[in-house]
Structure 1
Amino acid sequence: MPNQLVPNLFGNEISSDDVLDLFAQQSGWEARYRQIIVLGKQLSELPQVFKNEEHQVDGCESAAWLVSREQAGVWQFYVASDTRIVNGLLAIVLAAYNGKTANQINDFDIESYFDQLGLSKQLSPSRANGLHAVVQAIKGVAV
């Protein structure tokens, strides 16, 4: 994979703690939903060359693509979807996993993270399944 084609995730890196703080500042699910969309807009555009079957995540209702790169034991993930809300949800997942080692990725309690954000109660079963498919794809490459 050519490095020059892989975009940065955000202008500034964002962590799972940052996302938790952002969500704590929102009152109600509607405000959190808007925040998810804002986070999705902050994702860099994934070049079209990566939007193919090789990078498509199986199990997502909406089209979603995942590109990964490991450098010096640290993983970077790049994602895209064809919907705004899914892009935001993918940004939340990347905040948890980008810049981490394989051990940190596999040790991170993603269910607790989703619960703290209120996602577990608010997402439709198909969206939740898609989000978990992305998590499994990330864990599948970060070994």
Structure 2
Amino acid sequence: MATLAFEDIVEDFEFLEDWEDRYRHVIELGKAMPPLADALKVPATKVDGCASQVWLHPVIEDGAFSFDGESDAMIVRGLIAVLRALYNGLPVAQVPAVDAGRELARLGLHDHLSAQRSNGLRAMVERIRDVASEHA
């Protein structure tokens, strides 16, 4: 059920054998992401449960789900970019059905993220699922 954009990241990770290269790639994905407007960095878009500052701004247009995001931590910004690749463009009703844990496991992220980062990633996935469920 993963999007083509996410499959591209999976392919990149298969090519990059060393975890440090993969880590740098995640950071580069975050750097390439457009910044979130300051006006959208409000309590309603802030994600609780993350060690760093994280904001997710969902947009549902013509039944399709997407979101923009921002973090003050480079690796977390990269993780937001990975989640955008996983979810953006899906029909909103399909978003809660995505097995994010299984898809992200294909990248081996949990083996290399700290417990705090893993908890933050789960909190972001929960927020995405909750918002999509409200609009499905």
Aligned to 2:48, which of 44, 58, 78? 58
* One-letter identity of the residue aligned with 1:88: G
Aligned to 1:134, which of 121, 124, 132? 124
User: Is residue 110 from structure 1 mapped to residue 128 from structure 2 by the alignment?
Assistant: no
Aligned to 1:43, which of 20, 33, 39? 33
Moved beyond 6 Å, runs of 4+: none
- Between the aligned residues of both structures, percent identity stands at 37
- Per-residue deviation, 1:84: 0.8
Q: For each residue in 1:10-48, what CA deviation from the matched residue of structure 2 results, as whole angstroms up to 9, or x when unmatched?
A: xxx971101101111101111100101110011101111
Unaligned stretches of 5+ residues in structure 2: none
Unaligned stretches of 5+ residues in structure 1: 1-12
Distance 1:80 1:14, change over 3 A: farther
Length-normalised TM-score, structure 1 = 0.87
Indicate conservation of the 8 Å contact 2:60/2:92, yes or no: no
Greater per-residue helix proportion: 2
CA RMSD in angstroms, aligned pairs only? 1.4
Q: What residue in structure 2 maps to residue 125 of structure 1?
A: 115
Distance 1:74 1:142, change over 3 A: same
Looking at structure 1, the residues matched to 42 and 62 of structure 2 have their Cα atoms a distance apart, in angstroms, of 27
Looking at structure 1, the residues matched to 61 and 98 of structure 2 have their Cα atoms a distance apart, in angstroms, of 20
Distance 1:14 1:37, change over 3 A: farther
